[in-house]
């Protein structure tokens, strides 16, 4: 017989490593249960059950009985039955996927309450008001999330009840008011759904479980997953947990806590506490919380216990944890923990602190940070010395310096940002419906809510600047404006600046300055110096860890001495791609034009002769900047028409000259040449090695310039290490011809100068045919450098210059890929060609040197791939070098 699949796990059965099956929340509840921490008993329905439901539209057949068995066990443990009229057990039904998706999916509390059991709860708690409050919360949450009733209907009814009583706070409504409200809520459910609010507790539970499953495919959840690159097929687990109550009076409450500051990494007491309130009140930022430290005064016993649990958790998880807890009449309960989200700066600081505490080693520390975080830390920040007009200060929720036009709703944020405007999304508080506006905005500003409010948590996750809880601001979203403390009004479209590292809000545009991390890489700030901040120290140490671990070398794509020197300061171990076309622009363009237009061999040779010393000087400077390190110089690649004037502009010039009867012989010749060189598909046309083969003398001039520059550097006691690279090769024959000519030129220069130049000659692999015949090509190449930009273009048949602006958005929205293949290497397609070419190339020539110089060389995920397929180095733009070093280190541990 088939072995039965187990769909339900008691909290005592799971552990933290079962996140795939139990989701993050379920796995960690189990872990805490097994650590002996006070977790209310419960059980978890697996993601497997969810997957069956999502695929078939029905829960697996065995699920019902398994849930019954676990519910019975839970009832026995608690000594009461779900919804039992005189002594009810109540449960929460909470979603919990493998990766945390804050606020994206559904949760229902107080399941088990009904017209009958509400009386039992009142007796149990000795508090009638509390019982009716819990019941109205159930109908409200259940109505909204399970039955799909518009939540505003309940909110409006609640507001009306408060107005009728002339009170502002929920807690001022008494049992009788709440009883009436329950009647009203039930009417809303009936009129909106055509059915009564279900009185059968088990039916409530089953419907809530199904609603959680369904919420996996809710629009918000899908959008969030796409943004965070979370796969769509994981499904969510469902946690059924016996209820504990934070709303049983002043000796009860609920809160969230971090074992360290998630913004800076500093150890201490961080969190928010809300007295006499139930779970969601804190995260939703509905009422204002007090700092966690206040709990010591409110309830010292629970506070001390919480501090001890936090220490236990940190030592156990060896990382920053965040926690949700509830105190029920002086008794502390842990409702959730997980390894907490943190800012980029905190990630670096915490990783090094944990190494110092002996909790983790260097390899583990590298796993705790990412290249994306490092890239974030290299963003500029506001200039401290700028003249600014600060108008408010909120909570520094997610760091960064953001400037943009004020917008007050998500729709406008998206619309304006699509038309190229930078916007700051301002809300009283955010909720999951604001997600696409948050993605579109440069930064997010709210007037309510703490460090754990929705805005703060989501912004931190996205690495987006956020200031929250700026209470001095009166945000009026209906009229699209906010009032600042002195009474002035900021209208939609006004420029503002927000600093997510300090919480400060400024009117107008504040200028920005480079980040200290960049100052460090530039060598203008030194770790160990008095003014070096802790972040710089942490980054410095993490880079050292990465450099010790990594196997991949990191080179730069750089075309001039200035970029080369910066790259070197940033840790580049050579130049992997010098694009010589960049040396053919500016005032040399005229020479290039003459070369292209030459009618006779003599004319062409004259143009080349004039270009030669200029090219040579470029290389001398580059070799000097990179003395002792390899410099790969690629011969001319782009189609020649790129060096000629634009065809339309030129036609106009000719027409004008004709009309005015001015001489225009040159323009006419140019126009003819432009027409002659015009191609429908220039990227597939006369470019790369093809140019070298049909424009006599072009490549040999470049080779001569390289050889002479190397000879000159050697004569000056330098150590030039040039490598000559041929672009867009599709067959070994092309390479052989160019190689033969190049060898001859090099021999001539060696003979003339008496220097042994040792110039390596290799090729780019950037066409599918080159990758497929890499074994043959390696016969004529001493190195390969994968040009993954062109390789992606040609493997997919995507024009690299057009697609991102045309149909990629649609492709991303449809989930055809989660990220552009021009950004992260397409492992299955392009990647498998790279892998095959590596193997074939090395089979022919075991000491073949292998690198990559497409944009992917600086992309974190791609760097890991290049490590795995065994390349020797990646090459990327100078500013990405630290990221590539770090990721190469991470790939190796
Ligand atoms: C490439 O194609 O990946 C490459 C590095 O060359 P270019 O981007 O200059 O075409
Ligand atoms: Mg290319």
DSSP state of 505: E
3-state SS, 89-102, equals ECEEEEEEECCCCC
CATH 3.50.30.10: which residues of the chain?
379-513
Centroid of ligand 2 to alpha carbon of 728 (angstroms): 7
**Closest to 239 (Cα-Cα) out of 107, 100, 94:** 94
Phi-psi region of 466 (alpha: psi -120 to 50; beta: other; left: phi over 0): beta
What is the spatial distance between Cα 757 and Cα 773, in angstroms, rounded to a whole number? 29
User: Which atom of ligand 1 lies closest to the CA of 785?
Assistant: 5
Question: Which helix or strand (DSSP H or E) is residue 267 part of?
Answer: strand 267-275
Contact (CB, 8 A) for 560 and 621: yes
Structurally, what CATH architecture does the domain formed by 550-639+679-891 represent?
Answer: Alpha-Beta Barrel (3.20)
Q: Phi first, then psi: what are they for 71, rounded to 5°?
A: -65, -45
Spell out the residues 6+ positions from residue 376 whose beta carbon is closer than 8 angstroms to its own. 344, 400, 463
C-alpha–C-alpha distance, residues 333 and 245, integer Å: 9
Question: Cα–Cα distance between 224 and 78 in angstroms, integer?
Answer: 37
In angstroms, rounded to a whole number, what is the distance separating the alpha carbons of residues 234 and 46? 11
What is the C-alpha separation between 487 and 1, in angstroms, rounded?
76
853 classed as catalytic: yes
The CATH 3.30.470.20 portion of the chain extends over 253-339
* Residues contacting 64, CB < 8 A, separation 6+: 206
Q: From atom 9 of ligand 1, which residue's Cα is the shortest distance away?
A: 579
| pLDDT given for residue 231 in this prediction | 87
Q: Beta partners for 481?
A: 476, 491
Distance in angstroms (rounded) separating the CA atoms of residues 42 and 44: 7
Q: Of 539, 288, 270, 518, which is closest to residue 396 (Cα–Cα)? A: 270
> What is the structure's pLDDT at 1?
45
Catalytic residue flag (residue 454): yes
pLDDT number for residue 33: 98
454, 540, 641, 867: the active-site residue: 454
Residues near 476 by beta carbon (within 8 Å), at least 6 away in sequence? 408, 482, 483
Other CB atoms within a 10 A radius of the CB of residue 88 amount to 26
Nearest CA to ligand 1 atom 4: 787
Spatial CA neighbour of 773 closest among 731, 817, 735: 731
**Residue 853 C-alpha to ligand 1 middle, in angstroms?**
7
Nearest to 878 by CA among 560, 639, 633, 635: 560
Radius of gyration, CA atoms only, the chain: 33
CA distance 142 to 149: 9
Residue 97 has a pLDDT of 93
Instruction: Please tell me what DSSP assigns to residue 198.
Output: P
- How far, in Å, from the CA of 670 to the mean position of ligand 2? 27
Q: Which of 343, 345, 339, 270 has its CA nearest to residue 307?
A: 270
Shortest-distance atom of ligand 1 to CA 577: 5
Q: Which fold has domain 253-339?
A: D-amino Acid Aminotransferase; Chain A, domain 1 (3.30.470)
Structure tokens that stand for 524 in this block? 């203008």
Q: Which element (helix H / strand E) includes 257? A: strand 253-260
Q: How far apart are CA 368 and CA 319, in angstroms?
A: 9
CATH fold group of domain 379-513: Glucose Oxidase; domain 1 (3.50.30)
pTM to 2 decimals? Answer: 0.81
Query: To which residue do tokens 């055809």 refer?
Result: 816
Q: How far is the CA of 687 from the centre of ligand 1 (A)?
A: 12
Which residue intervals of the chain bear CATH 3.20.20.60?
A: 550-639+679-891
Quote the ligand 1 centre to 757 CA distance (angstroms): 27
**CB atoms inside a 10 Å sphere around CB 562:** 12
- C-alpha to C-alpha distance for 197 and 137, rounded to whole angstroms: 13
In 342-457, beta strands by DSSP E: 381-382, 389-393, 395-398, 401-407, 423-427, 443-446
Q: H-helix or E-strand containing 540? A: helix 534-549
- pLDDT under 70: residue ranges of the chain: 1-3, 227, 280-287, 451-452, 461, 463, 531, 804-805, 809, 813
Return the pLDDT at 280. Answer: 67
Backbone angles phi, psi at 257, to 5 degrees: -145, 155
- Best substitution site from 555, 582, 763, 766 to test ligand 1's pocket, by max atoms within 8 Å of Cβ? 766
Are the CB atoms for 556 and 881 separated by under 8 Å?
yes
Name the token pair of 197.
């609010």
ipTM above 0.95, yes or no: yes
Q: CA-to-CA distance for 49 and 103, rounded, in angstroms?
A: 22
In the numeric block, the tokens 């609640």 are attached to 158
* DSSP helix, strand, coil percent of the chain (3-state; round to 5): 50, 15, 35
Ligand 1 pocket check: which of 784, 823, 853, 857 to mutate, most ligand atoms within 8 Å of Cβ? 853
Which amino acid residue places its CA nearest to atom 6 of ligand 1?
Answer: 787
Angle (CA) 168-172-174 rounded to 5° is 140
Identify the bridge partners of residue 291 per DSSP, sorted by sequence position. 272
For residues 398 and 464, the answer to whether their CB atoms sit within 8 Å is yes
Catalytic one among 468, 578, 853, 876?
Answer: 853
State the Cα torsion 262-263-266-270 to the nearest 10°.
-60
Q: Which residues line ligand 1 (CB under 6 A)?
A: 577, 579, 637, 766, 787-790, 853-854
DSSP 146: I
């Amino acid at each position: 017989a088939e072995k039965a699949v187990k769909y339900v796990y008691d909290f005592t059965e799971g552990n933290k490593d079962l996140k795939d099956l139990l989701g993050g929340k379920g796995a960690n509840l189990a872990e805490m249960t097994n650590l002996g921490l006070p977790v209310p008993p419960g059980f978890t329905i697996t993601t497997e059950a969810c997957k069956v439901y999502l695929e078939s539209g029905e829960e697996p057949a065995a699920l019902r009985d398994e849930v019954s068995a676990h519910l019975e066990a839970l009832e026995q443990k608690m000594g009461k039955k779900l919804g039992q009229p005189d002594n009810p057990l109540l449960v929460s039904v909470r979603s919990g996927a493998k990766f945390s998706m804050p606020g994206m999916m559904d949760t229902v509390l107080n399941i088990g309450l009904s017209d009958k059991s509400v009386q039992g709860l009142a007796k149990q708690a000795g508090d009638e008001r509390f019982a009716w409050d819990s019941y109205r919360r159930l109908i409200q949450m259940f109505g909204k999330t399970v039955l799909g009733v518009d939540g505003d209907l309940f909110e409006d009814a609640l507001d009306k009840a408060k107005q009728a009583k002339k009170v502002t706070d929920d807690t001022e409504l008494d049992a009788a008011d709440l009883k009436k409200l329950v009647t009203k809520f039930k009417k809303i459910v009936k009129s909106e759904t055509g059915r009564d609010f279900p009185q059968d507790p088990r039916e409530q539970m089953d419907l809530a479980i199904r609603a959680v499953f369904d919420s996996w495919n809710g629009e918000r959840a899908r959008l969030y997953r796409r943004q965070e690159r979370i796969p769509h097929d994981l499904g969510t687990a469902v946690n059924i947990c016996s209820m504990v109550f934070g709303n049983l009076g002043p000796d009860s409450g609920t809160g969230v806590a971090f074992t360290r500051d998630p913004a800076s990494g500093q150890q201490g007491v961080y969190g928010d506490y809300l007295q006499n309130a139930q779970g969601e009140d804190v995260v939703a930022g509905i009422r204002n919380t007090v700092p966690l430290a206040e709990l010591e005064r409110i309830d010292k016993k629970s506070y001390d216990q919480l501090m001890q649990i936090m220490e236990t958790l940190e030592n156990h998880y060896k990382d920053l944890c965040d926690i949700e807890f509830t105190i029920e009449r002086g008794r502390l309960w842990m409702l959730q923990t997980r390894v907490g989200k943190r800012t980029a700066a905190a990630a670096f600081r915490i990783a090094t602190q944990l190494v110092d505490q002996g909790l983790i080693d260097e390899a583990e520390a590298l796993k705790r940070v990412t290249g994306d975080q490092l890239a974030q830390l290299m963003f500029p920040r506001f200039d401290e010395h700028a003249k600014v007009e600060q108008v408010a200060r909120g909570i520094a929720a997610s760091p960064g310096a953001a400037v943009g036009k004020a917008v007050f709703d998500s729709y406008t944020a998206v619309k304006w940002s699509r038309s190229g405007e930078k916007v700051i999304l301002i809300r009283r508080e955010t909720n999951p419906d604001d997600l696409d506006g948050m993605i579109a905005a440069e930064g997010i500003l709210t007037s309510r809510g703490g460090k754990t409010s929705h805005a703060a948590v989501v912004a931190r996750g996205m690495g987006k600047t956020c200031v929250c809880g700026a209470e001095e601001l009166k945000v009026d979203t209906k009229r699209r404006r906010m009032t600042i403390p002195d009474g002035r009004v900021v209208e939609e479209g006004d420029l503002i600046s927000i600093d997510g590292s300090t919480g400060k809000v400024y009117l107008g545009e504040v200028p920005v300055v480079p980040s200290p991390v960049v100052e460090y890489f530039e060598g203008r700030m030194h770790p160990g110096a008095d003014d070096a901040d802790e972040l710089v120290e942490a980054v410095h140490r993490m880079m050292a860890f990465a450099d010790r671990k990594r196997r991949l070398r990191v080179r730069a794509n750089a075309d001039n001495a200035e970029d080369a020197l910066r790259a070197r300061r940033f840790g580049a171990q050579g130049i992997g791609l010098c694009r010589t076309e960049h040396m053919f622009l500016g005032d040399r363009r005229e020479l290039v034009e003459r070369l292209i237009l030459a009618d006779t061999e003599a004319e062409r040779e004259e143009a080349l002769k004039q270009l030669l010393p200029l090219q040579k000087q470029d290389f001398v400077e580059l070799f000097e900047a990179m003395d002792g390190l390899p410099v790969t110089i690629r011969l001319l690649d782009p189609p020649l028409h790129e060096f000629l004037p634009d065809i339309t502009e030129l036609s106009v010039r000719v027409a004008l000259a004709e009309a005015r009867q001015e001489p225009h012989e040159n323009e006419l010749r140019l126009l003819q040449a432009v027409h002659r060189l015009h191609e429908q598909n220039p990227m597939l046309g006369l470019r790369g090695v093809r140019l070298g083969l049909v424009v006599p003398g072009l490549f040999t001039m470049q080779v001569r310039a390289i050889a002479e520059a190397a000879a000159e550097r050697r004569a000056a006691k330098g150590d030039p290490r040039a490598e000559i690279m041929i672009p867009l090769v599709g067959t070994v024959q092309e390479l052989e011809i160019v190689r033969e000519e190049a060898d001859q030129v090099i021999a001539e220069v060696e003979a003339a100068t008496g220097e042994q130049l040792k110039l390596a000659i290799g090729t780019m692999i950037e066409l599918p045919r080159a990758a497929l015949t890499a074994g043959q090509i390696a016969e004529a190449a001493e190195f390969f450098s994968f040009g993954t930009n062109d390789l992606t273009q040609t493997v997919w048949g995507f024009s690299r210059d057009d697609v991102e602006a045309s149909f990629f958005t649609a492709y991303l929205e449809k989930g055809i890929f989660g990220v552009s293949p021009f950004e992260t290497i397409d492992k299955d397609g392009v990647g498998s060609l790279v892998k095959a070419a590596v193997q074939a190339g090395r089979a022919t020539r075991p000491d073949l040197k292998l690198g990559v110089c497409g944009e992917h060389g600086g992309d974190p995920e791609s760097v890991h791939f290049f490590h795995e397929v065994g390349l020797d180095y990646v090459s990327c733009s100078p500013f990405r070098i630290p990221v590539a070093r770090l990721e190469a280190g991470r790939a190796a541990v």
